A and B are shown apart, each in its own frame.
Chain A
Amino acid sequence: MEYRDLVIIGGGSAGMAAAIGAYNEGIKDILILEKGEFLGGILNQCIHNGFGLTEFKEELTGPEFASRFIEQIKEKGIEFKLHSFVTDISKDKVITYTSKEDGVVMVQAKAIVMAAGCYERNAGAIGIPGDRPAGVLTAGQAQLFLNEYGYMTGKKVFILGSGDIGLIMARRLTLEGAKVLGVAEICAWSNGLNRNMVQCLEDYGIPLYLSHTVSKVIGKGRLEKIVLSKVDDKMQPIPGTEKEFEVDTLILSIGLLPNNDLLNHLGIPTSRSRGSLVNDKLETCVPGIFSCGNVLHVHDLVDNVVEEAREAGKNAAIYLKGEEKKATSEIEVIAGDGIGYVVPGKVAIDESLENITFKFRVRKPSKNVYIQYEQNGNVIKKVLKTAIIPSEMEIQKLPRKQLADESSPITIKMVAKEM
């Protein structure tokens, strides 16, 4: 058995930022476990630009953003192990991992930061009717093949789902000579960032089919055709609206889910974000186990990931130093009408607390609405939003002094502004 103060699961943007956050608070005995070949995680395959505007005040590509953190990890001498896949975490914080060099290893940690990122929903998750040929793959998989290994996944491509990676792959495949025939989105609105609609689709004349889905996959061996259908308001294909496209590749950009099995196995409750339920210190119900980044809730921007992860690392350090303030009470946070999820799910009230930061997503694009904070049915704060969309995570602060009391649950909901 090895012994460590802090073990961080994942060496991507969240894991590296968490390590730096803890290091800067005086914790030096840190181990980062990374399953892949390199530090940096998914940033390495995101070769497009647009990262770092908040963090570095400049626009970087994914690999450039990652390298700034990798350099900090190396300068500080923070230990990391690559090719190390964590298979189990126990309640008393024993981590089991397998590694190319060391075989199966067990480490006793005093604190753990979970930073394992997210995974993509795949074809099985949505059960498209039809054949099961080669040529149907997720956007992230296509991105990895193309950008890190140089394999084109096809020449005639259709994309299902308007998530950002799908839009970015539409542009990337076009630049490399593929013909992208269209992007279908089952919702009536796009799920990608506005800027990606412009610079990935409009720039290249790629059509976006809103309220459409792929209703059939056709192909023996290799994908030959897909059938596109319009959907009704229950998201069911409407008979008679079918349109065929001859394609050799169907790319799925249909959502990301926190890769949180390890903490789920521990019986830690889950939030509506599908990550673990945490308090405002990003700590789960097991003291000393923290969670951050896309394993906690899927972010749009890496800048927000690293900020959250540094906070988790810092809080882990405070825990390790025995400097956590004793909570006088705990408030439950409820995602009410119109809100998809809220992080954190609980607020631990202690003497250090001044502002509570809430991160959440609305369920539907909406205009002229209030984000309303309530306790016991009374409104304690409301924020007017002239426009709000699900694909952009909302970050809002609630000053502690605005709480009606320090024990009743807080409900966050979206209500229409009376005109």
Chain B
Amino acid sequence: MEERDLICIVCPRGCHLHVDKDLNVTGNFCPRGAVYGKQEVTNPTRVVTSTVRIDNAELPLCPVKTKDPIPKGKIFEIMSSINKVEIKAPVHIGDVIIKDVAGTGVDVIACRNMEKI
């Protein structure tokens, strides 16, 4: 593994991390930075947030996210699955919108309570 300098994206603090050949992370303010640093050089992941169409609600869209981070290379495949979905109100925060999206084992869940009108 090559040495890398990274900016931590776990929180807005944005620590400057250094990951050495043996995956030791320095420059992190909190333990989550060490986890991120290791993950970013071995298998970078992101949480994807987007919207799906919703019927019978006060707005035409419901915000959604992947419940956990997914591999970076899967982002556009996941976006294309999300864009095919249409749901009906009511929907509540945490409701599963897509199960096991793009074979990642991660669900896409609703991020806003939207009642039926």
Contact = CB atoms under 8 A, between A and B. Distances in A.
B112 A193 contact: no
B75 interface: yes
A147 B112 contact: no
B59 A149 contact: yes
Given A49-B49, A203-B46, A63 B63 contact: yes
A195 B47 CA distance: 13
A50 B51 CA distance: 17
A394 B11 CA distance: 16
A43 to B, nearest CB: 10
Contact of B11 (A48, A150, A195, A197): A195
Interface in A164-201: 175-176, 193-195, 197-199
Question: Which of A67, A176, A194 is packed against the most chain B CB atoms within 10 Å?
Answer: A194
Interface string B76-117: 100100000000000001000000000000000001110000
A147 B12 contact: no
A63 B9 CA distance: 20
Nearest to B48: A175
Interface in A17-50: 37-38, 44, 47-50
A195 B49 contact: no
Contacts of B113: 67
Contacts, number: 75
Nearest to A149: B60
Interface string A47-87: 11110010000010111100100000000000000000000
B65 to A, nearest CB: 6
A313 B53 CA distance: 37
A300 B12 contact: yes
A63 B110 CA distance: 10
A273 B94 CA distance: 38
Contacts of B4: none
A395 B47 CA distance: 29
A47 B49 contact: yes
Nearest to A47: B63
Given A49-B65, A199-B9, A147 B51 contact: yes
Contacts of A232: none
B13 to A, nearest CB: 8
Given A64-B93, A150-B51, A194 B63 contact: no
Nearest to B62: A63
Contact of B50 (A44, A47, A59, A203): A47
Contacts of B11: 50, 53, 59, 195
A150 B60 contact: yes
Interface size class of B (residues with CB under 8 A): 20 to 34
Interface residues of A, number: 30
B7 A195 contact: yes
A162 to B, nearest CB: 14
Interface string B25-65: 00000000000000000000011111101000011110101
A194 B5 CA distance: 13
A301 interface: yes
A37 B57 CA distance: 13
Nearest to B63: A47
A326 B76 CA distance: 60
A148 B75 contact: no
A149 B47 CA distance: 22
Q: Which of A47, A193, A197, A199 has the most CB of B within 10 A?
A: A47
Contacts of B50: 47, 175-176
Interface string A144-157: 00011110000000
A53 B29 CA distance: 14
Contacts of B112: 44, 63-64, 67
A53 B32 CA distance: 12
A62 B65 CA distance: 11
Given A37-B58, A44-B112, A150-B53, A195 B9 contact: yes
Interface string A369-396: 0000000000000000000000010000
Interface in A63-119: 63-64, 67
A194 B61 CA distance: 30
Nearest to A51: B12
Contacts of A392: 12
Given A67-B113, A147-B51, A193-B12, A199 B46 contact: yes
A48 B22 CA distance: 33
A337 B14 CA distance: 26
Nearest to B64: A47
Q: Nearest 10 A-B pairs (CB), nearest first?
A: A194-B14, A63-B112, A47-B63, A195-B9, A61-B111, A194-B7, A195-B14, A199-B9, A63-B111, A53-B11
24 contacts: A38-B58, A44-B112, A47-B51, A49-B65, A50-B11, A53-B12, A59-B47, A61-B49, A61-B111, A63-B111, A64-B93, A67-B93, A67-B112, A67-B113, A147-B63, A148-B59, A150-B51, A175-B48, A176-B79, A195-B8, A195-B14, A198-B7, A198-B9, A203-B46
